[in-house]
Amino acid sequence: MSMADLLVIITEVLLRTVAMMYFPRSFLNITPVCSTNTVLACAATLISVWFTVAFTLDRFLAICYQNVKAKYCTERTASVIMGIVSVFSCLISVPWYFTMGPEYNMHYIPRGCIFKQAFLNLTSWASFELLMLSLMAWFPFLLLLLLNSLTARHILMSGRVRRGLRDRKPGDNDPEMENRRKSVVLLFCISSSFLLLWSTQVIYVLSERVFGTPYVKGSEFESVALMLQVLCTCTNTVIYVLTQNKFREQMKSAVRYPIYLIVKLVKNRNAS
């Protein structure tokens, strides 16, 4: 998940947005290169989104179906799913290459990337764009909402059973129940953040394709939609990973280690 998010930052932010804005005369602005970057950015976004869905499914099976955890929640299964998602995302993103045309020519070299008129007018291309939007936003959100809701329901139901078995007194703190409540909050944070951050991009595309609003490239609304979309590919990984105890311990060790080396170096210097 983290690697997929890093690829989104590299392809969408660095190679497309930053390079096109601040280095317009670089080789990245040549139309074939720019079109290739569009394909890579789309593939990276799909991979990031569906890796999050796959991770959510893995957690759902591990929590709600303990009997299949040992069989399906394995490293081999995860590798196969990641491979399938990666290959499928790359293949379905290839048509984006043919939606781009040169914005201008410089010394007989096509430069810049703008959508071709056929992409803006043909129903087939509009259907393809809506399909990609569904794969990136609508279907993943529905799956995340469904899986997280079922997981939260299982946690709440098992919590009621646990409280009944413990016959807990008022004011008695149960660490396990506290962890479960945090898990429920975490699951709904994932779904709500995905919906909110993708909603602007969905509205932007629908307003152009369904309601006929002019497709204005480079508008402020498009910039905000793109920024929130890119941000969404990072938030889920951050939310998932930062809530894991092992990761937090590793982060603390990584922060303390340079301090430990400096202190050790100072002590050795004073001793000599």
Digit-coded pLDDT (tens) for 14-54: 888 787 778 877 888 888 888 899 899 899 989 988 988 88
- Report yes or no on 269 lying in a domain: no
- Report yes or no on 271 lying in a domain: no
Task: Give mean pLDDT, residues 156-160.
Answer: 73
Whichever domain contains 199, its CATH number is 1.20.1070.10
- Mean pLDDT (the chain, rounded): 78
Pairing mode, strands 100-101 and 114-115: antiparallel
Task: Give mean pLDDT, residues 191-208.
Answer: 76
**Within 13 A of 237's CA, how many CA atoms are on the CB side?**
17
CB–CB of 90/43 below 8 Å? yes
Model pLDDT, residue 58? 83
- Report yes or no on 250 lying in a domain: no
Give start and end residues of each alpha helix (H) in the chain. 2-8, 19-22, 31-64, 66-72, 75-93, 117-121, 123-133, 139-166, 175-209, 220-242, 245-271
> Domain count of the chain?
1
Sequence letter at residue 70: A
Cα 257 from chain centroid (whole Å): 30
- Report yes or no on 264 lying in a domain: no
Model pLDDT, residue 244? 65
Structure tokens at 51: 């890796």
Query: Which domain, by its residues, includes 150?
Result: 2-244
pLDDT greater at residue 113 or residue 251? 113
Percent residues over pLDDT 90 in the chain: 8
- Report yes or no on 208 lying in a domain: yes
Polymer length in residues for the chain: 272
Q: What is the dihedral sign for C-alpha 119, 121, 123, 126?
A: positive
